[in-house]
Structure formats: structure tokens, C-alpha cells
Amino acid sequence: MRWGFGLACVATLLGIASEASADVFRDPDTGFTFSQYNAPITTGSVYITFRIAIPSTAIAGQSYDAVLQVVAPNTAGWVGVAWGGSMTNNPLLIGWVNGGSAVASVRRSASHTAPQPYTGATLQVLSKGTKTNGTHWQFTAKCTGCTLFPTSGTNSKNLNPSGGNRFAFAYSRTKPSQPASSTSPINVHDLFNYWEHDFAAAKNSDFPELVARNLNFSSSAH
């Protein structure tokens, strides 16, 4: 397993040191072109980076797969993304590092209490996009069921493949208590915040091929 971050990533991290921004990142490891947002988590230059890739064939109103890549400083115990932009009634994709690999899990909660495993979405961790070094860890996971989901009552929400979608993130400095298990309990977050993620810049015309290529190296999680 290779631990080093590529130069592109270092440059990206340095490049965003002065301000948070939305931009595009071409990942040399997985081959995906990601739309990226750097979320500040301290008043210093410390960020969690959130990257999304979707198929260029994605159609508004229909479910489509999405690949999420998260780059977090080693001080982050777990990081979660709320696909519907709030804690309640939407898929919460959380991930953390476990030794040399990552564990990811989709959960859901109807209230501001510990979310429970959610079977309405499935994940595959892409191990080529999952690594750690002396300062950061990152995971990459494909989600089926994260772009069209029930909200409350009989309502559902679908994410616009051609514009911005309101996202939320949360992170905790405390690692999950059973880090090898995707159903591990987690502690409440130390920080949450919101952003608008640009899906128009997340489109990949070779999405199916890239998924297939990456899955040849993958392990599953749920």
C-alpha cells in the first residue's frame, strides 16, 4: 500500500490555504474528476476537503450513483456528509480511518440523536482512493441511494445533477469506539456546517468505466 499524497494534493492543500473555495480536482489515483469544496474547521488553515463525482448521464429526478472522496486531517476521528443538507431525514455518509484502510457507513436519523445504519443506500469503498499519511487520511466511496431519497412523510428529495446542492458536514475528533466495524457507535460531532456543492462540475463522461476500474481494487462496506 502506498501512503504518500500526490503532489497535486499537496498543491491543492497549499492552494486553498488562504480561502475556502469550490473547484475541480482531477484525482490521479482513481481517475475521477471531482467537484471539490474545502471546509474550514478551525480559524487557522485547517480544512476537510469534500469531493463529488457523478455520471455525465445523470438525469434530474432520477437516482444516480455518486462517488464521494473526503480528505481529513488526522485529528478528525470521523467525518460525515449529509446529502440532504441537514442532520435529519437524509442519508448521512460517515467514514473514518482504520489502520491502513477506511470504514464507511450510511446512517440516518429522524432527530438530533445518534443516527442508525440506513439500508436505503449502499456503499462501496474504492481502495485506490483510500489512504493515509503523516498529516491526513482520505477515503473514497461510491454511494447508490444518496442522490434520491425519502425525506419526511411521503416526500423525497433528488439532487440536481446540473447545479448546486445544499450539503452539510459534521466531524468529531473522537474515533468510533469499534473502528473495524461499519456499525460502530459514534460520538456526537464537535463541529457541523453547510455548503452548496457544485454538481455541474462533478460530471464524468467515463463514470461507469472509472467505477469498474476502481472496483477491481475495492472492498465493500455498508
Q: Give the footprint of ligand HEM on this chain (CB under 6 A).
A: 80-82, 86-88, 92, 94, 112-115, 168-170, 186-189, 192
The b/e string for 91-109 (b: 16+ C-beta within 10 A; e otherwise) is: bbbbbbbbeebbbbbbbbb
CB 118 within 8 Å of CB 129: no
Residues 6+ apart with CB under 8 A from 114: 185, 186, 188
The cell numbers describing 99, all together, are 489502520
How would DSSP label each residue in 52-95?
A: EEEETT--TTS---EEEEEEEETT-SEEEEETTSSSSSS-EEEE
Q: Which is nearer to ligand HEM, 53 or 104 (CB)?
A: 104
Closest approach of Cβ 169 to ligand HEM, in Å? 6
Closest approach of Cβ 11 to ligand HEM, in Å? 28
Q: Which is nearer to ligand HEM, 55 or 176 (CB)?
A: 176
Q: Which is nearer to ligand HEM, 33 or 138 (CB)?
A: 138
Q: Which is nearer to ligand HEM, 155 or 216 (CB)?
A: 155
User: Distance (Å, rounded) from C-alpha 122 to C-alpha 211?
Assistant: 14
Closest approach of Cβ 204 to ligand HEM, in Å? 24
Closest approach of Cβ 189 to ligand HEM, in Å? 5
